[in-house]
Structure 1
Amino acid sequence: MSKKLTPMMEQYMDIKSRHPEELLFFRLGDFYEMFNEDAITASRELNITLTGRPTGDEEKTPMCGVPFHAAESYIETLVKKGYKVAICEQLENPRAVKGIVKRDVIKVITPGTVMTENGNDARSNNFLSLFYVVKDAWVLVFCDVSTGEVIWDRILPNEKRTDIFDALAMYRPAEIILANEVSLPQDVQDFVDNQFSNLVLSPYTAHETNRELSDLGAKHFSDMGLMEEDVLEALGYMLTYLHDVIKTETSHISYVHKLSVGNRMILDTASLRHLEITHNLRDGGTKGTLLDVLDRTLTPMGARLLKQWLESPLTDVAQIQRRQAAIAEIISRGAEREQLRSYLDTIYDFERIVGRIETGSVSPRDFTSLRESLQCLPHIKKTLSECQSIALQTLNQNVYSHTDLYELLKDAIAEQPALTLKDGRVIRDGYNAELDELRSLATNSQEWLERLESEVKDATGIKLKTGYNKVFGYYFEVTHANAAQVPAYFIRKQTLANAERYITPELKEFEIKILSAKEKIVALEQQLYQDLRMQVKQVVRDVQETARALAELDVLASLAVVGYEENYICPTIVMNGQINIRDGRHPVIEKFLKREVFVPNDIMLNHDEEEFLLITGPNMAGKSTYMRQAAILMVMAQIGSFIPAREASISPVDRVFTRVGASDDISTGQSTFMVEMKEVAYILENATSNSLVILDEIGRGTSTFDGLSIAQAVVEHICKHIHAKTLFATHYHELIPLEETYPKLKNYTVAVKEKGKDVAFLRRIIRGGADRSYGIHVAKLAGLPQSVLKRAEVILQSLETDHPGSDDLSQRVGNVELQVGSSTNAGRMVMNNKPTMDSMDVGNLFTHSVVDSLLAVDVMSMTPIEALNTLYQLQEEARKGGGK
């Protein structure tokens, strides 16, 4: 039979019963302690010692703890692993209380609400998501509590569930609130389980009525204009959850916008993944992504905004052109560009700092960072005031100088404040007279005492000295010979053999001040600090607007630096439905290509003659790179960026769809072919005539005839019903005759140079079709043993002899649609005239590039060694162009 619990443990168990899902950090003196299962979990996850404590039970209760002054790092570790942490503090001064100190939870830290400086990746948003069910729809809300940004969308029942998947893939929340403890639909749950690790589901029920929730949302976001009732309910629900969890003000959460806006390109989950826009396929990091190439931002705010731009490009021509004009002007103003970037390099993440100011978790160093950030704003505004582009002028208007706030922080916060308030010396000397006096007492008490002694001697004319003991405190000691001259306001406290000891009201006041000075300093600094926080809160909205403007300026400057250093060009944005890119290059591959010159290619897509490009040719020759390149250049162009090309005119597309690569979905038991077919089905259902569709090797996961049939059916469906601008790469060269049926379908292939049995893939996309896959040549490049390669050639010859070949199959495939008569040999004609470098005079692929480079050389001003280096580089380009 267990014994009665101790009073402290009873208090712990009562608080823990109200927070069963969280790890309870229970404040005991200088430590946060955890007990029972919480202690076992924390000990395992934090690698700290598990001990036991007598708490009234027969056996010791499992226990572990962390120092309260170092708790932040431990909490961050737990939250990143998907745990919630409830912080239980002492609400009374233990010295002033007899018995059990009153304690309660002051806040709960969850993966979606963490606000500490190191708790979030500075260069990425940390979104909290809400799934709210209304009568006829889902309302999705995404909120970054640290920055105050809110995005919402309504998903109707007749709309596709993939919209939810796309939103989750874009914002990648750390936590999902399940309003009224609703369960996620099974397919959404499967998607979450498959795509995310450590994502926390938080079932939550608000006690407010729908009307109260709606009123709360309307009041909080009063300046956001008219919004639907159910959206206001969802926003109110989110605010209610935040109030219950972080238990403080949330007025900094003010920047609200809708997800599905008409001026944005939609990049679905598969496209974001296949194109490696912001996360790579290898480990989910940013290395080798488009974001990695374009990110030269200097502020965390800018880094987060660039990521959002890349995941949600523009479709509005005017907006794209405004960004282009700003980037062009920054490029043209070299001195100003470097000035702006030097200023931006001194800007801290004050978008998140003001969030911590609002929620009461701001540190002294946060105020220092904010002060240093504000210091350079007038210089930024001065530089921007000289700019002509509309975007930069608008940014200048949206960046406030915040002179008053800067002066306040300069006067109030020490030059190098302590890390925490308890360490003192956070408020600057001279800011508050009472604090200055207390500090003076604490640091110069002996000097002050000597001065008081001298003043009393001068006033009374008697000899005396000061002293101190623990019983009487500070005193004046006067010899018996001088006792008769002691003034009336001297109060005798002790008689000695040769002297009397006195106190005076002034000395007693000094004693009280000295003994309580340190405690008062801490209390007064905390009061002044909170007063300062309340003053800064009054201008949070303006500071947030400045932060957002600086983030945009940082992104534009980053794109300008990349464009300038990589010699990108500004594409012309048109509305005629055409995409014409001359000598386009893949920005990521070009950046990381070490030993080769990247081979540029033209891209021409329109609704007139080249709506559907059927690309055949050998594996590993560059087909996938070419298609990904087209999609990535569109994304770059539609965020306003310059692109790697010789020249380009581009019509924005509403969506980019990709079906590239092969992968199983083991978690849901789906094969490579099933994954492929689901992605193709999604594309065929959602693509429009204004979309860009990228399809790579459709049908390769099944038998030859099944795969070929599916591939042709997909081609015909797009050509007949969708009319999207499409790049379709395939190893089924039997599809080549379809060019005769569909006038907007054109055959393209990869140029090949053959020398006997040796093959060189030139990576240049040219008009025509291919009749071979060159699989054995690719195997040779991959390093298969020579014996295997020779055996493969024997088997291939045998198969070609037994099955007269692809010509007959091509004819049969063509006849499914053509029912041809006189043109039954069309497929044979295309394939017998294969577009190799031996049979087609395509010239040197780099003729124009070499000539342009040569014409730009100033021979007369070059040294001999410079001339040799230049000649060597031109020769290398020419060799690559000739496939040598």
Structure 2
Amino acid sequence: MGRTALRSSPPPDAPSLDPAGATPMMAQYIEIKAANPDCLLFYRMGDFYELFFADAETASRALGIVLTKRGRHAGAEIPMCGVPVERADDYLSRLIALGHRVAVCEQTEDPAEAKRRGPKSVVRREVVRLVTSGTITEDRLLDPARANLLLAVGRRKVAEGAFAYGLAAIDISTGRFSLSEVPASELSGAIARHDPREIVLSEVIVSDPALARLWQDAKAALVPMAQGELEPAAAERRIREQFGVSTLEGFGSFTRAEIAAAGTGLLYIARTQLSARAPLSVPTREESGATLSIDAATRANLELTRTLSGERAGSLLATIDRTVTANGARLLAEHLAGPLTDLAAIARRHDAVARLADDSALRRAVRDALARAPDLARALSRVGLGRAGPRDLAAIRDGLGAAADLSALLAAADTLPDDLARIGADLVLADPALAGTLAAALAEELPLSRRDGGFVRPGYHAEIDEARGLGQDSRKVIAALQARYAEETGCRTLRIKHNNLLGFFIEVPQSVGEACLKGLQREFVHRQTMVDAMRFTSVELGELERKISGASDRALALEAAVFDDLAGRVLAQAEAVAATAEALAALDVFASHAELAVELDWRRPLVDESLSFRVVGGRHPVVEAALRRAGEPFIANDCDLSGEGRGRIRLITGPNMGGKSTFLRQNALIAMLAQMGAFVPAAEARIGRVDRLFSRVGAADDLARGQSTFMVEMVETAAILNQATRRSLVILDEIGRGTATFDGLSIAWACLEHLHESNACRALFATHFHELTALGDRLARLDNATLKVAEHRDGVVFLHEVVPGVADRSYGLQVARLAGLPGGVVARAGTILKSLEKTKGGRPARALIDDLPLFAALSPPPPPEPPPEDKLGALIDTIDPDALTPREALEALYRLKRERAEGR
């Protein structure tokens, strides 16, 4: 469910806090909180972020931390809780995951400055950023393998009551910024493809009744904004100001809906980032139809990026991911979410994968070098936002170094395809001197924050080395000066000492000679005479004292200046560094596909403009992986939906557990993998370009919306029949099973005819309504197929092999027996089944029930008859062979013989 209008605290009807009568600090808190009413306020106090009033109660429940009290306000104690600054990211991640927004309020002046203003002055504090699920940038808050998208939505009117929707997909953690426009019918699928963390849009769009169900289904947090803030002219102005241009013409042609979406997203980012400007790439426009259209239900049914339970493990993405960089993992997920429809682009991707698959040495070298590349894109974004630390600069250093190595590897390779050649060039767009400067400046061991210091390599900056030397080796410096003074004055007992009153001073005993004392007085300034000693100072010692006392602060200030210089050098080449990050990601994806193809014997598919769909030896990638782990083989199957003649639609019958759903899904996944640019789990595949992919597999209630399993099934089926085109691929499983038999059969029959006559698409249609197989004689493009089964005694063996023909039954009773139903239930079901089959569906159900005797198990079963008495056995049990004499043994034998004869 979408979380709309997040109000962390206070609730909408809560009274506002009155600063009157509050302490100066609490009055400051109340003032800042009033400016951020819909956020939890992290209020910096020393080494903690404190929360007060309703915020404290909310955070205490959400985080499981202790709620305490601090002082009083308006006659009541003030609830309070806090989190350590050094662990704030851990708590932030938990709050963001629960849907809260957090305003981070920092101390913006030195406490000493506040004291100079007066004893009751409060340290100045300001909110420096708003932390929301769609605008986080910290590594510890982000999933490295998942894009962190903020999706902004705008719209324009295209006809009376009809709108087109603009989408702005923005990831400030990487700078990604893309725009697209879709009709209302495709809005749900487009949102599912982007899989955003947060959706920002106008209140008018949120309140549109036609979209109410869409926003209920949204898994992302919803943030409505007032329509008055989102005027078209203001939206275009924000885009121009973001990129410092006077016109948008240089970026391409955008629709009004796309501009509205972009303006909405930029306004929200400006509000959350406050003074920091997000370093976004120039917006790119995604052309309509450039990617394979897949609706939200199909994505869920096929478990592309997450399973139905919400886990990544077990999804197609987890199965095919062989990337070695976070950048590459995110791009792989993006490619899977939006397979291409451009045949030339698909072929170029296949060429790149083939080149790396064929050259094992090059592939291994590329993957080894990629494994050394950090997350360049997110490090660059943090530098642009002013939130970077020394490790981000090191990530850029190491990323550029890895890129240079990879460029050299590709340059040495023979005959690179277009995409690999382009990647090789993009890897070295940045000035090599930048990586060299970063390598020379940064130390081996780096702190997390620039405030900690110690990140500049010794020898890079002379003044920093001097300041560090004074701070770290002050005793050695003082000892050296003392030795020199003793040598120059001839006073071997001269000492340089320190106390809190005088600071550093030169001390000699009163017993020194008169000549030495006169020499000291000529060289130094007298400070103090003691009973047994005299104290002096010198200009040099005073200067050294000032340097030592401020050495640590000076070193930190100098390091901060070095950091700013390095960050400035990076930003001066931000565009080139971003291009390098994209090239690293693309290379990682190609190498991942190649590794997968070699490891699992996947083959290059042919994707063309035909209407073919021919797969030889196809396999389900996820199921095959699971079977491989269990040491079991996967049974490959062919699928041919090609041409205008018979077979364009394949009707599949067969037993439960026979593999119908697996067969349906594997062919849909093969089409997706082929068009995303990967090789496929098949011996051979020719896929005529698919424009839309639809899947209706599985069943689930939607209780939150008051929809039964059958209603969900019908809604999804309606979407397919209304939108599928001649070039689409449709897989349907068990249409009509959620209602009465004849109703379901009728609906399935009509749907099959509609797919054949109206949609004319390629389709796989699995059913247990065996009556539908008769349509094979009436519908020219329909072909029948079934799953082979071998019967063995009272059971069945599922062979999982798809063959031409029809199934004569579903083997439901055998499956029930395998599932462990009581034997009496299975036997009774068999009796009922035989009676029903004799009627051939021609008699009313009531008559059938009247003719069948009641199930005997409804009455207590008679007790089992006792087994017959075994007299012979009882007699044998009385004999102890070891205790018998020969004569007794002979007599016993005769008795047994007589007993046996009488028993007959």
Work out whether the TM-score is over 0.5. yes
- Correspondence for 2:648: 611
Contact 2:429–2:577 under 8 Å retained in 1: no
- Correspondence for 1:668: 705
Cα distance between partner residues in 2 of 1:239 and 1:43: 33
- Correspondence for 1:167: 190
Against the structure 1 CA distance between its residues 805 and 623, is the aligned structure 2 distance closer, same or farther, given a 3 Å change threshold? farther
* One of 486, 499, 514 as aligned partner of 2:548: 514
- Correspondence for 1:64: 81
Question: What CA deviation, in whole Å up to 9, does each residue of 1:189-208 have, x standing for no partner?
Answer: 43443452x72535367858
Question: What CA deviation, in whole Å up to 9, does each residue of 1:640-695 have, x standing for no partner?
Answer: 21112222222121111111111111110101111111111101111100000111
* One of 544, 547, 551 as aligned partner of 2:581: 547
Give the secondary-structure state (helix, strand or coil) at the position aligned to 1:131. Answer: strand
Contact 1:206–1:237 under 8 Å retained in 2: no
Cα distance between partner residues in 2 of 1:758 and 1:782: 12
* One of 486, 493, 501 as aligned partner of 2:527: 493
- Correspondence for 2:259: 232
- Correspondence for 1:414: 443
Question: What CA deviation, in whole Å up to 9, does each residue of 1:753-775 have, x standing for no partner?
Answer: 34565433322222222332222
Against the structure 1 CA distance between its residues 751 and 344, is the aligned structure 2 distance closer, same or farther, given a 3 Å change threshold? same
Q: How does 1:644-683 map to 2 (within 5 A)?
A: 644-683=681-720
Cα distance between partner residues in 2 of 1:376 and 1:42: 43
Give the secondary-structure state (helix, strand or coil) at the position aligned to 2:456. Answer: coil
Q: How does 1:214-225 map to 2 (within 5 A)?
A: 214-221=236-243, 224-225=251-252
* One of 420, 431, 443 as aligned partner of 1:392: 420
- Correspondence for 1:429: 458
Structure 1 residue runs of 5 or longer lacking an equivalent are 809-884
Contact 1:214–1:229 under 8 Å retained in 2: no
Give the secondary-structure state (helix, strand or coil) at the position aligned to 1:60. Answer: strand
* One of 634, 637, 662 as aligned partner of 1:598: 634
- Correspondence for 2:126: 104
Q: How does 1:147-296 map to 2 (within 5 A)?
A: 147-155=174-182, 159-161=183-185, 163-179=186-202, 183-186=206-209, 188-196=211-219, 199-203=221-225, 210-221=232-243, 224-250=251-277, 252-254=279-281, 256-281=283-308, 283-296=309-322
Contact 1:398–1:549 under 8 Å retained in 2: yes
Give the secondary-structure state (helix, strand or coil) at the position aligned to 2:550. Answer: helix
Contact 1:252–1:541 under 8 Å retained in 2: no
Give the secondary-structure state (helix, strand or coil) at the position aligned to 1:5. Answer: coil
1:94 equivalent in alignment to 2:123 = no
What amino acid sits opposite 1:149 in the alignment? R
Cα distance between partner residues in 2 of 1:319 and 1:2: 63
Question: What CA deviation, in whole Å up to 9, does each residue of 1:231-264 have, x standing for no partner?
Answer: 3343233222212211244452115333453331
1:447 equivalent in alignment to 2:485 = no
What amino acid sits opposite 2:110 in the alignment? N
What amino acid sits opposite 1:352 in the alignment? R
- Correspondence for 1:862: none
Q: How does 1:440-839 map to 2 (within 5 A)?
A: 440-459=469-488, 464-478=494-508, 481=514, 482-486=516-520, 490-593=524-627, 594=630, 596-609=632-645, 610-754=647-791, 757-803=794-840
Give the secondary-structure state (helix, strand or coil) at the position aligned to 2:94. Answer: helix
Give the secondary-structure state (helix, strand or coil) at the position aligned to 1:40. Answer: helix
Give the secondary-structure state (helix, strand or coil) at the position aligned to 2:141. Answer: coil
What amino acid sits opposite 1:476 in the alignment? I
Contact 2:701–2:712 under 8 Å retained in 1: yes
Superposed displacement of residue 444, structure 1: 1.4
Give the secondary-structure state (helix, strand or coil) at the position aligned to 1:376. Answer: helix
Superposed displacement of residue 101, structure 1: 1.2
Question: What CA deviation, in whole Å up to 9, does each residue of 1:255-311 have, x standing for no partner?
Answer: 533345333111111111111111111x21122221122101101111111111111
What amino acid sits opposite 2:479 in the alignment? E
Question: What CA deviation, in whole Å up to 9, does each residue of 1:464-513 have, x standing for no partner?
Answer: 43121211111123456334324656332212234432222221111111
Give the secondary-structure state (helix, strand or coil) at the position aligned to 2:689. Answer: coil
- Correspondence for 2:895: none
Cα distance between partner residues in 2 of 1:499 and 1:582: 101
Against the structure 1 CA distance between its residues 458 and 228, is the aligned structure 2 distance closer, same or farther, given a 3 Å change threshold? farther
- Of residues 722-731 and 565-574 in structure 1, the stretch that sits farther from structure 2 once superposed is 565-574
Against the structure 1 CA distance between its residues 488 and 231, is the aligned structure 2 distance closer, same or farther, given a 3 Å change threshold? farther
Question: What CA deviation, in whole Å up to 9, does each residue of 1:736-783 have, x standing for no partner?
Answer: 222222211112222233456543332222222233222212212222
* One of 387, 390, 393 as aligned partner of 1:367: 393
Cα distance between partner residues in 1 of 2:354 and 2:703: 47
What amino acid sits opposite 1:703 in the alignment? A
What amino acid sits opposite 2:331 in the alignment? L
Give the secondary-structure state (helix, strand or coil) at the position aligned to 1:670. Answer: coil
Structure 2 residue runs of 5 or longer lacking an equivalent are 1-17, 116-120, 159-163, 845-904
Contact 2:154–2:261 under 8 Å retained in 1: yes
Cα distance between partner residues in 2 of 1:332 and 1:748: 37
Contact 1:439–1:521 under 8 Å retained in 2: yes
What amino acid sits opposite 1:520 in the alignment? R
Give the secondary-structure state (helix, strand or coil) at the position aligned to 2:152. Answer: strand
Contact 2:230–2:263 under 8 Å retained in 1: no
RMSD value, Cα: 2.4
1:305 equivalent in alignment to 2:331 = yes
What amino acid sits opposite 1:731 in the alignment? H
What amino acid sits opposite 2:270 in the alignment? H
Give the secondary-structure state (helix, strand or coil) at the position aligned to 2:130. Answer: strand
Against the structure 1 CA distance between its residues 683 and 472, is the aligned structure 2 distance closer, same or farther, given a 3 Å change threshold? same
Cα distance between partner residues in 2 of 1:770 and 1:697: 15
Cα distance between partner residues in 2 of 1:330 and 1:805: 63
Contact 1:139–1:152 under 8 Å retained in 2: yes
Superposed displacement of residue 57, structure 1: 4.4
Superposed displacement of residue 710, structure 1: 1.1
- Correspondence for 2:15: none
Determine which structure has more spread, i.e. the larger CA radius of gyration.
2
Superposed displacement of residue 106, structure 1: 0.9
Question: What CA deviation, in whole Å up to 9, does each residue of 1:500-549 have, x standing for no partner?
Answer: 32222221111111112222222332232223222211112211111111
Aligned residues: 802
Contact 1:131–1:140 under 8 Å retained in 2: yes
Superposed displacement of residue 226, structure 1: 3.3
Superposed displacement of residue 33, structure 1: 1.1
Contact 1:748–1:767 under 8 Å retained in 2: yes
Superposed displacement of residue 186, structure 1: 4.2
Contact 1:364–1:419 under 8 Å retained in 2: yes
* One of 291, 306, 325 as aligned partner of 2:351: 325
- Correspondence for 2:142: 120
- Of residues 243-252 and 679-688 in structure 1, the stretch that sits farther from structure 2 once superposed is 243-252
Cα distance between partner residues in 2 of 1:613 and 1:135: 41
- Report the identity percentage: 38
- Correspondence for 1:822: none
Give the secondary-structure state (helix, strand or coil) at the position aligned to 2:283. Answer: strand
Contact 1:130–1:140 under 8 Å retained in 2: yes
Superposed displacement of residue 36, structure 1: 0.6
What amino acid sits opposite 2:569 in the alignment? Q
Against the structure 1 CA distance between its residues 557 and 248, is the aligned structure 2 distance closer, same or farther, given a 3 Å change threshold? farther
Contact 1:204–1:241 under 8 Å retained in 2: no
* One of 52, 75, 95 as aligned partner of 1:35: 52
Against the structure 1 CA distance between its residues 461 and 55, is the aligned structure 2 distance closer, same or farther, given a 3 Å change threshold? farther
Cα distance between partner residues in 2 of 1:153 and 1:572: 29
- Correspondence for 1:354: 380
What amino acid sits opposite 1:32 in the alignment? Y
